[in-house]
Copies of this chain bind each other. A is one copy, B any other.
Amino acid sequence: MSNKSKIESILFVASKPLSAKKIAAVVKINDKEAVELLKDLQTNYNNADSGIAILNNGGEWQMVASADNQEVSENFLKSEVSGELTRPQLETLTVVSYCGPITKPELDQIRGVNCSLILRNLMLRGLVKENEDSANLLPAYEITMDYLRHLGLNSLQDLPNYSELHKHPYITKLDKEE
């Protein structure tokens, strides 16, 4: 069997998001090959009338039932309540969605207010997580796969104007200043 089909099997049996690194280790190929094959699978699955989609968020991958079929899926699962987002939560989530991984000073700078409490709140709701990469001194924040699932998107790149708002000059500038 091909490595691609092995990855398909692994994504299928997993019950949580998996890093490409982890998948590569199990299939015994290098990370780059794994990402290539994952993208390949994504192309196969993420078409207009597919009942299964492959999500990708910051190096993590997960196979899910299409968001469009939420209603029938809920017959077999406890339905997950999304709940309302408050205006500050929404604004913070938007910046983290477009600019993540992003540090708190960068986020504070963009919103013009201290975001500590909101971030804590969003982490408690499981919508934002602290980046575990400890190479940086400051923790960076990014959105979770659960949040992506609730938006019904396959990846953040599907957001309107993503590339424009993602690499904004001021953000990269802040990066250098910090």
Contacts and interface: CB of A to CB of B under 8 A. Distances in A.
A113 interface: yes
Contact of A114 (B12, B116, B126): B126
A137 interface: no
Contact of A9 (B51, B113, B123): B51
A66 interface: yes
A11 B77 CA distance: 11
Contact of A123 (B5, B113, B116): B113
A87 B176 CA distance: 29
A26 B76 contact: yes
Interface string A110-142: 001110110011011110010010000000000
Interface of A: 1-2, 4-14, 16, 25-27, 49-52, 63-66, 68-69, 72-73, 75-77, 79-80, 86-88, 108, 112-114, 116-117, 120-121, 123-126, 129, 132
Contacts of A87: 132
A136 to B, nearest CB: 15
A5 B66 contact: yes
B8 A50 contact: yes
Contacts of A76: 10, 13-14, 26
